[in-house]
């Protein structure tokens, strides 16, 4: 069965200069991958007519489907629509459904309707209009030389609605796609090259249609097996068989058997135990708590956090002894142990994570260089501590600390 190839074009000067990070194409690629489509190219171009046309021509030669986001707003730099009209032919006409929705939207909010807002209802008369339930700019579906082109707004919330409700369902009706399956193993505690050496014989015996990818992440290594086959059931069975072979070689470093963030992996462990958790955070400034509470339903096991950035808070809220701080310093085993004990009392949880470290770029010393982190995890009768050294920039040190703390608690829960 033929792979259905997709190219994604994101439009906007702000993407090229780094002012805005392109999250659209990453999300779209994941959704298309899950639906069985093969994304082979993701490119960004500026708000410039010839650049957009060149991208359309080039990607139309490469792929069966070209998806475009951006440049559909009401301002002068939003030029995608007239460029598409020129490229596909036809003229701009008013889409009555879009026009009525715009009028109703502004009326319901008590806002005046400007001509530039009304103009968002203009679409090339050669396109199929895709209703945007989340905004004013509709999606547009074009067909040329047996290829499909779809233009959507660059606003992520609006683009996602169009992809989920209009674009992907229409593509699935049009194309028969092969089964594209992944199975991911998450490991920790062993570097990529050492893992590769350990499973080299396994990798060598993999069938040609099953591919192994090494995907390093913050403190973790993901091993993803991928296969493409016409029969989903038999492909899934074969992939699972190879996955279990790989898992058996790495049992001592396995964290999870699915592509999940550490916060979700930890959540499953906490729920299985029926334990509540809290955090005492110094160097991470509440980031661990933020990652935990980003999960829907986290109130079932997460009680709260003490962001004890200053020593006064460590002492006055968590009960860390002044003598401990004076003798050992804020970044020490003794301090995080007392932070954890204090958090257990203050938050009333079954277990906690406490972290204190030096994230950089300043603040380090010969004894405690930048990236030094102490982590304490555990419960009322058993607090475990561990020292880490992360030698990266500030943002990455914080991310590494969050993953390490959650992983330490995961291991403690499995004892």
**Beta carbons within 10 angstroms of residue 323's beta carbon:** 9
Give the up-direction half-sphere exposure of residue 160: CA atoms within 13 A in the CB hemisphere: 8
- In DSSP terms, 254 is beta-bridged to 187
**Dist CA 195 CA 253 (whole Å):** 10
pTM of the model as a whole: 0.81
**Beta carbons within 10 angstroms of residue 284's beta carbon:** 26
Buried residues in 71-110 as b, exposed as e (16+ CB within 10 A): bbbeeeebbbbebbbebbeeeeeebeebbebbeeebeeee
Question: In 3D, which of 397, 315, 375, 383 has the Cα closest to residue 349?
Answer: 383
**Beta carbons within 10 angstroms of residue 226's beta carbon:** 16
Question: In 3D, which of 177, 213, 159 has the Cα closest to residue 22?
Answer: 159
Give per-residue pLDDT as tens, 65-74: 999 999 999 9
| Domains in the chain: boundaries | 5-174, 187-256, 262-413
Are 41 and 68 in contact by the 8 Å Cβ rule? The answer is: no
Selected from 3.40.50.300, 1.10.3720.10, 3.40.980.10, 3.90.850.10, the CATH number assigned to the domain covering 5-174 reads 3.40.980.10
**Dist CA 112 CA 103 (whole Å):** 9
352: part of which helix (H) or strand (E)? strand 351-357
CA dihedral (262, 267, 268, 273) positive or negative: positive
Axis-axis angle for helices 262-273, 394-413 (nearest 10): 20
Q: What is the pLDDT of residue 274?
A: 98
Q: Cα–Cα distances in Å, from 385 out to 282, 398, 405?
A: 15, 18, 10
Cβ burial, residue 55 (10 Å; 0-12/13-18/19+)? buried
Q: Cα–Cα distances in Å, from 261 out to 30, 39, 243, 375, 408?
A: 15, 23, 19, 19, 15
Q: What is the pLDDT of residue 302?
A: 99
Structurally, at CATH architecture level, domain 187-256 sits in 2-Layer Sandwich (3.30)
What residues contact 394, with CB distance under 8 A and at least 6 apart? Answer: 359, 360, 361
Q: What is the pLDDT of residue 218?
A: 86
Give per-residue pLDDT as tens, 220-251: 999 999 998 888 899 999 999 999 999 999 99
DSSP letter assigned to residue 391: -
For the chain, residues with pLDDT lower than 50 are none
CATH 3.90.950.20 fits 262-413, yes or no: yes
Q: What is the pLDDT of residue 230?
A: 83
Q: Could you give phi then psi for residue 348, rounded to 5 degrees? A: 65, 40
Are 101 and 107 in contact by the 8 Å Cβ rule? The answer is: no
- In DSSP terms, 65 is beta-bridged to 6, 148
């Amino acid at each position: 069965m033929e792979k259905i190839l997709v190219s994604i074009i994101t439009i906007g000067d702000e993407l090229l200069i780094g002012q805005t990070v392109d999250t659209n194409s990453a999300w779209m690629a994941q959704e298309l991958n899950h639906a069985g489509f093969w994304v082979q190219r993701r490119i960004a171009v500026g708000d410039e007519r010839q650049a957009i046309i060149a991208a359309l021509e080039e990607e139309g030669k490469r792929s069966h489907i070209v998806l475009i986001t951006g440049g559909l707003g009401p301002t002068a730099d939003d030029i995608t629509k007239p460029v598409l009209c020129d490229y596909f032919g036809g003229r701009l006409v008013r889409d009555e459904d879009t026009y009525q929705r715009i009028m109703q939207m502004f009326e319901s909010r008590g806002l005046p309707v400007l001509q530039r807002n009304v103009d968002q209802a203009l679409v090339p008369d050669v396109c199929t209009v895709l209703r945007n339930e989340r905004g004013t700019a509709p999606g547009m579906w074009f067909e040329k030389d047996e290829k499909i082109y779809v233009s959507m707004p660059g606003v992520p919330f609006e683009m996602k609605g169009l992809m989920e409700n209009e674009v992907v369902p229409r593509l699935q009706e049009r194309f028969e796609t092969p089964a594209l399956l992944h199975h991911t193993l998450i490991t920790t505690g062993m570097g990529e090259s050492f893992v590769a050496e350990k499973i080299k014989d396994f990798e060598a015996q993999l069938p040609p249609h099953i591919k192994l990818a090494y995907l390093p992440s913050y403190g973790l290594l993901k091993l993803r097996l991928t296969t493409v086959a016409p029969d989903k059931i038999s492909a899934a069975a074969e992939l699972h068989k190879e996955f279990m072979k790989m898992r058996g070689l790495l049992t001592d470093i396995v964290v999870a058997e699915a592509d999940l963030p550490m916060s979700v992996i930890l959540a499953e462990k906490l729920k299985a135990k029926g334990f509540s958790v809290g955090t005492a955070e110094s160097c991470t400034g509440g980031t661990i708590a933020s990652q935990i509470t980003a999960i829907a339903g986290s109130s079932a096991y997460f009680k709260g956090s003490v962001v004890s950035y200053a020593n006064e808070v460590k002492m006055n809220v968590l009960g860390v002894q002044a003598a401990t701080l004076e003798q050992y310093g804020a970044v020490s085993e003794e301090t995080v142990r007392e932070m954890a004990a204090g958090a257990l009392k203050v938050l009333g949880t079954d277990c906690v994570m406490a972290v204190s470290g030096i994230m950089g770029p300043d603040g380090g010393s010969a004894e405690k260089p930048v990236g030094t982190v102490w982590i304490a995890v555990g419960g009322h009768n058993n607090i475990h501590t561990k020292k880490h050294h992360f030698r990266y920039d500030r943002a990455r040190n914080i991310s590494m600390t969050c993953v390490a703390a959650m992983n330490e608690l995961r291991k403690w829960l499995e004892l």
